[in-house]
Amino acid sequence: MKLLLVGGGGREHALAWKFKHDDPAVTLIAAPGNPGMAELAECVPVTATDVGRLVELALERRVDLVVVGPEAPLAAGLVDRLREAGVPAFGPTQAAAEIETSKAFAKQLMLDAGVPTAQARVFTSVLEAKECAREFGAPVVIKASGLAAGKGVIVCETLAQADEAIESMLVGNAFGESGHEVLVEEFMEGEEVSVLALADGTRVLSLVPAQDHKRLLAGDRGPNTGGMGAYAPVSLGARLGQVSRDNTALLREVETRVLLPTLRAMRDRGRPFTGLLYAGLMITADGPKVVEFNCRFGDPETQAVLPVAQMDPPLATVMLAIARGEGIPAGARCHTQGYAVTTVLAAAGYPGTPHAGDPIELPAPRADALVFHAGTRRDDDGVLRTAGGRVLAVTGLGATFAGAQRASADAASHVRFAGKQFRDDIGWRERARGA
């Protein structure tokens, strides 16, 4: 199979690793890729949002399948253009991608479909938004409606904080256009889980559930980021406080109450969703409720999920069948093998303006760790340097959770670059559950 992978982050590196791991004979082209992916794929210097060039590239190289990693090209209509050109593409159309790109659209969809989620209202007026925050009471959550790289959400402990957040978005332009419409949302109590599911418009194949660590600092303190680490599988049951080594019941509940009704509502709106549907869930006392949907693989969840996901048939085969409109192959399954803990190494300054250009020293290769590149570049002098907020993601693998956690923390501590930031407590909730 010849495959074009669009993107150049840690998630795309993990996808490239999975495709090669499943089938060493696969031919991979990455646009633009990154220095880590260059060991697995031919990297072509076309940016992930250059829709016209990407379509030309797919046609020139006669690829069998295009897999789109990030949300920006999906929001720009890359899949629509590829389909028009007759190229099978894995990912949602621009209209279906709105499930991520507009939180207001996603909320209304959930409301109409009866999908459990927090109560929320949309505002462009500061005064009305503040009134709503008072009606819900603190703690309350203020969100920029558009894309903000995972950073446009402020969980406010007090109404004064909520007022400040509303003003910063609607008046202070804190998130640009994305924040000119805000959601005021009821706070949900519980633990978070990310379920990544391959979707063919009607049916889903759920992968191993994962847990992300969105806060910058150990103990889940500090500002929200794009994600500082993740682990999979998660031994949570379908209710707050339940522990379960077997995720079957949790996944079935998420499929029945969340994923399948969402696909139905998307079909009803004439925007069938095919691709990867990511449900960010809060496991509350009343069961799973949706925090957000994403229209693509999670980052860094993918770097933890794919190494432990044993799929039959392999991932690329299922993606190709979905992209061709054949649907998820009958009997397709995903099992879990072992444990994975992913530690993100971020540059100095992240999640603000990251410092670029610092030389990176990687740890010696080891069997129990995978190093995925994200914000790195290799200069003409051959030196690997930092070139983004999240620089690397180190996934530790193990037959036990504790083993995977040790491998991840140890390998992460052996990566060197100036100002390196990382959390050494990824998976702490899982340990607290007795893993």
Q: Which residues bind ligand GLY (CB under 6 A)?
A: 150, 212, 227, 294, 298-299, 301
CB of 159 to ligand GLY, least distance (A): 28
* Contacts made by residues 315-319, CB under 8 angstroms, sequence distance 24+: 315/18, 315/19, 315/22, 316/1, 316/3, 316/19, 316/22, 316/23, 316/26, 316/65, 318/198, 318/205, 319/65, 319/67, 319/90, 319/198
CB 263 within 8 A of CB 205: no
Q: Which does 298 bind (CB under 5 to 8 A by kind): ligand GLY, ligand AMP, none?
A: ligand GLY
Closest CA to 358 of 374, 380, 376, 340: 376
CB of 251 to ligand GLY, least distance (A): 19
Size of the site for ligand AMP (CB under 6 A): 16
Cα four-point dihedral sign 70, 361, 227, 403: positive
CB of 178 to ligand AMP, least distance (A): 11
Q: Rounded to an integer, what distance in angstroms lies between the CA atom of residue 133 and that of residue 153? A: 14
Q: Which does 167 bind (CB under 5 to 8 A by kind): ligand GLY, ligand AMP, none?
A: none
Closest CA to 182 of 289, 104, 112: 104
Question: Is there binding between residue 344 and ligand AMP (CB under 6 A)?
Answer: no
Query: Binding ligand AMP by CB under 6 A: which of 1, 38, 44, 155?
Result: 155
CB of 259 to ligand AMP, least distance (A): 17
- Which helix (H) or strand (E) segment holds residue 98: the answer is helix 94-101
Q: Which does 200 bind (CB under 5 to 8 A by kind): ligand GLY, ligand AMP, none?
A: none
User: Number of helices (H) and strands (E), helices first, in the chain?
Assistant: 14, 24
Query: Binding ligand AMP by CB under 6 A: which of 26, 141, 384, 394?
Result: 141
Question: Is there binding between residue 258 and ligand AMP (CB under 6 A)?
Answer: no
Q: What angle do CA 18, 92, 36 make, to 5 degrees?
A: 30
Q: Of the ranges 69-77, 185-193, 299-307, 376-384, which one interacts with ligand AMP (CB under 6 A)?
A: 185-193
Query: Binding ligand AMP by CB under 6 A: which of 43, 57, 74, 118?
Result: 118
Q: Which does 301 bind (CB under 5 to 8 A by kind): ligand AMP, ligand GLY, none?
A: ligand GLY
DSSP for 68-94, written as a single string: E-SHHHHHTTHHHHHHHTT--EES--H
Closest CA to 17 of 33, 406, 295: 33
CB of 365 to ligand AMP, least distance (A): 33
Q: How many residues does the chain have?
A: 435
Q: What angle do CA 278, 424, 368 make, to 5 degrees?
A: 75
Q: Of the ranges 147-155, 368-376, 414-422, 427-435, which one interacts with ligand AMP (CB under 6 A)?
A: 147-155
Structure tokens at 137: 């009471």
Structure tokens at 27: 């031919």
Nearer of residues 181 and 299 to ligand GLY, judged by Cβ: 299
CB of 39 to ligand AMP, least distance (A): 32
CB of 80 to ligand AMP, least distance (A): 25
Nearer of residues 150 and 152 to ligand GLY, judged by Cβ: 150
Question: Is there binding between residue 292 and ligand AMP (CB under 6 A)?
Answer: yes
Question: Is there binding between residue 192 and ligand AMP (CB under 6 A)?
Answer: yes
Question: Is there binding between residue 259 and ligand AMP (CB under 6 A)?
Answer: no
Cα four-point dihedral sign 223, 226, 232, 234: positive
Question: Is there binding between residue 185 and ligand AMP (CB under 6 A)?
Answer: yes
Question: Is there binding between residue 358 and ligand AMP (CB under 6 A)?
Answer: no
Q: What angle do CA 268, 272, 276 make, to 5 degrees?
A: 135
Nearer of residues 29 and 344 to ligand GLY, judged by Cβ: 344
Question: Is there binding between residue 161 and ligand AMP (CB under 6 A)?
Answer: no
Q: Residue 357 carries which side chain, given as an amino acid letter?
A: G
Nearer of residues 265 and 295 to ligand GLY, judged by Cβ: 295
Write out the residues near ligand AMP by the rule CB under 6 A: 118, 141, 143, 150, 153, 155, 185-188, 192, 214, 224, 280, 291-292
